């Protein structure tokens, strides 16, 4: 595996790959890799000739009071893991080169960026879109792999790709969970033992939503009420939001009459965790 830090060097590797007619699969991450990330990596290795993984903790997607500094990092371990998986290139750009002093260009997907997580994380999706576009421009991937874990992120990025006429295909893969249901996340590392148990309210309440739906419940308010009760019984959990929305506009739906997204963000102690499930017909 070749580790590349400089944009120019990445670009020349990319043009070499392209000149040989090979396809590029790309997995953007913020590192501290777990099985969720690796499910994307493995799919890329299966589908593309060459796999590029990036690790970049993107300052532009963190608010001033968020955990940019504390975000877990372990580049040595991550590179070993990726090397073992058979990844071809690891791109670890430096912040100064991605956002040089005086940087002014940002990408926004209006409206969608303000819903769900956007409400409590203003500017987050602007940061996400900007880094995604930058990385797509540098790496020029044929396919880029993302997790359903960040449901709003994939909806917004797909919209950006469509409306800005990018050629990359966005492929979305299922949420990888611990055996007890907790969705894998780099931030889980910060949960104490007690918080780790409390964090199960996210997946538990989503399961209840699924089963109410299966039993014929179509009233979003009834499902949300039940979910909030489950979460409310856990003293360490504080709700940021619990919503059922349509998957195009991310607007709340009152009656579930087609595919809908149940999404939630919950603080467990100081750690903000997200999870979601799709209600299908």
Residues carrying an active site annotation: 37
**Toward ligand AMP, which CB reaches closer, 89 or 146?**
146
- The residue number with the shortest CB distance to ligand AMP is 147
- Tell me the three state secondary structure of residue 129: helix
Using CB under 6 A as the binding rule, whether residue 93 contacts ligand AMP is answered as: no
Q: What are phi and psi of 255, to 5 degrees?
A: -115, 135
Binding positions for ligand AMP, 21-80, rule CB under 6 A: 29-30, 36-37, 39-40
Residue 257: closest CA among 268, 246, 249: 246
User: CB of 228: closest distance to ligand AMP in angstroms?
Assistant: 23
Q: Give the distance from CA 25 to its chain's centroid.
A: 17
Binding positions for ligand AMP, 156-195, rule CB under 6 A: 175-176, 183-186
**Toward ligand AMP, which CB reaches closer, 14 or 40?**
40
User: CB of 88: closest distance to ligand AMP in angstroms?
Assistant: 18
Instruction: State which of residues 124, 134, 149, 159 lies at the interface with ligand AMP (CB under 6 A).
Output: 149
Contact 90, 1 (CB under 8 A): yes
- What span, in angstroms and rounded, lies between the C-alpha atoms of 233 and 156? 33
Q: Report, in this order, helix, strand and coil percent for the chain, each rounded to 5.
A: 45, 20, 35
- Binding residues (CB under 6 A) for ligand AMP: these are 29-30, 36-37, 39-40, 146-147, 149-150, 175-176, 183-186
């Amino acid at each position: 595996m070749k580790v590349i830090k400089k944009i120019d060097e990445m670009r020349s590797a990319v043009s070499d790959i392209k000149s040989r007619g090979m396809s590029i699969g790309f997995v953007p991450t913020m590192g501290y890799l777990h099985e969720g990330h690796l499910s994307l990596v493995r799919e890329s290795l299966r589908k593309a000739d060459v796999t590029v993984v990036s690790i970049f903790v993107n300052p532009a997607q963190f608010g001033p009071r968020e955990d940019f500094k504390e975000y877990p990092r372990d580049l040595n371990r991550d590179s070993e893991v990726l090397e073992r998986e058979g990844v071809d290139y690891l791109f670890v750009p430096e912040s100064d080169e991605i956002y040089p002093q005086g940087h002014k260009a940002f990408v926004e997907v209006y409206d969608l960026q303000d819903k769900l997580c956007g409400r409590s994380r203003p500017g987050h999706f602007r940061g996400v879109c900007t880094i995604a576009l930058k990385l797509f421009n540098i790496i020029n991937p044929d396919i880029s792999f993302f997790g359903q874990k960040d449901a709003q992120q994939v909806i917004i990025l797909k919209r950006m790709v469509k409306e800005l006429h990018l050629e990359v295909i966005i492929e979305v893969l299922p949420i990888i969970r611990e055996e007890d249901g907790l969705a894998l996340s780099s931030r889980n590392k910060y949960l104490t033992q007690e918080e780790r148990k409390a964090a199960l309210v996210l997946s538990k309440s989503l399961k209840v939503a699924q089963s109410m739906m299966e039993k014929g419940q179509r009233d979003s308010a009834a499902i949300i009420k039940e979910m909030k009760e489950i979460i409310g019984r856990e003293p360490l959990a504080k709700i940021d939001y619990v919503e059922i929305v349509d998957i195009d506009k991310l607007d709340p739906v009152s009656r579930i009459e087609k595919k809908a997204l149940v999404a939630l963000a919950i603080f467990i102690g100081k750690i903000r965790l997200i999870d979601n499930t799709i209600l299908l017909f």
